[in-house]
Structure formats: C-alpha cells, structure tokens
Amino acid sequence: MRSWARCAGLCVVFLGLVAPLRGLPAHAAGAEETDRLEVNTDPAGGVRATARVFFPASPGIVQVILTEYARWPELFEVRMTLADLTIKDGVATTDLRIDHALLPGERRLVTESRTLPGGGLVTDLTGGDFKRYHRVWKFTAVGGGVRTRADFELVTEIDSMVPDWLMALAMRRELEAHFRIVKEKALARAKQER
C-alpha cells in the first residue's frame, strides 16, 4: 500500500511539472525539432514520399546547395552521373544517369527545375526511363533565420518490373542518406560563412 501511495504521489508531482509545458511549442518545452519522413506506395503507381527536415543553416544556404545542379550526384549515395546540364531563363534541365542496385543497367532521368518564390525548388520529369517524377522543396527560416525547416514531397515511378513496395523500402534509405548529406554540407557551409 505504501509503495502505491508513493508512486501516486510521484505521478502527481510529475504531472504538475509537465502539464504547464503542454501548450508550448516543441522547442520552448526543451524538445528538439525532429525530422519526419513518410514513404509509401502511391495508389496511382510508384512511390510517394513526404518529409519535414530541419537543416542547421539558413534557407539561402540550403537553396544554394540544392541548386548547384552540376554537383547533384554528390548529394546522394546512389551512384549517378550528370550527363548534361543546361540553364536557360531560370530553368535548369538535368540529364542524370542512375545506377541503382535494384535495377539492372543504367536509368536515365531528365528533369527541369525551377526555384520557388520565397525559397524552394520544384523539379519535374521531362524524359528518360521514369513514368513520373515530381519533387518539391519548400523552405521556412526558423531559429531566427539560422536554421531551415524544409517541407519535401516526391512522387516518382520508374519504368521497371521491380514492385513498388520494394522501391518504397529502398527510397526510404536513400532519402535518409540524402537528407544527412545535405545537412552535413549545409553545416559546413554555414561554418564557413561565420
């Protein structure tokens, strides 16, 4: 009986300390902003991924990293090469060759990318071995402008016999690695600018 009463007393004290924090934003309550990533098969075919990623640098730095199109292969662990790049009237056309472990041979991905007003990037399929490819990054400054909250969406479908559920599993790992690499580059660049 005494141990139950002691436990109940501790619970009341704990709730008394925590309850006032419930209405505060996560960073005010002492919790770190955490990344979220969801990757699922898309009912229309292919894979759909959405994420909220926090980068340790300003939106301007993240924007520069993601728009250095000639360096895109460095942002991924999957082997790829840039076969061609043209930039005209604010539209970057990239021709990537991707060598993926799940897919035999090399896959071609030709896209057009445009920056978004207010910060961000949209990339759409124009050719190659994909049926669909649409990617959007939207940036919001947080932490007084020294960090970035990025909202990310990707819908992609490769012309392949590999089942979508297997591509979704691989996509999760690849995006986690991609976000980690971009974070590392953003942090290094932010330190250089200080």
Yes or no: say if 130 and 109 are a contact pair by the CB < 8 Å rule. yes
| pTM assigned to the model | 0.81
Is the residue at 162 inside a domain? yes
Say which range, 9-18, 83-92, 133-142, has the weakest mean pLDDT. 9-18
Q: Is the pLDDT of residue 6 over 60?
A: no
Question: Looking at the chain, how many residues does it have?
Answer: 194
- Range(s) of the domain holding residue 186: 46-193
Looking at the structure of the chain, the number of domains it has is: 1
**Which tens digit of pLDDT belongs to each residue from 42-58?**
999 999 999 999 999 99
Looking at residues 61-75, what average pLDDT do you find?
96
**Neighbouring-strand partners of residue 82:** 96
Is the residue at 7 inside a domain? no
Q: Is the pLDDT of residue 15 over 60?
A: no
Is the residue at 108 inside a domain? yes
pLDDT of residue 22: 35
More confident of the two residues 104 and 39: 39
User: Strand, coil or helix: what is 161?
Assistant: coil
Q: What CATH number corresponds to the domain at position 153?
A: 3.30.530.20
Is the residue at 95 inside a domain? yes
Is the residue at 70 inside a domain? yes
Is the residue at 172 inside a domain? yes
pLDDT of residue 100: 84
Q: Is the pLDDT of residue 119 over 60?
A: yes
Q: In what order do the strands lie in the sheet with 91-99?
A: 36-41, 47-55, 147-158, 130-142, 120-128, 106-115, 91-99, 79-88
**Which tens digit of pLDDT belongs to each residue from 92-115?**
999 999 998 887 789 999 999 999
pLDDT of residue 159: 86
Q: Is the pLDDT of residue 142 over 60?
A: yes
Is the residue at 185 inside a domain? yes
Is the residue at 156 inside a domain? yes
pLDDT of residue 32: 57
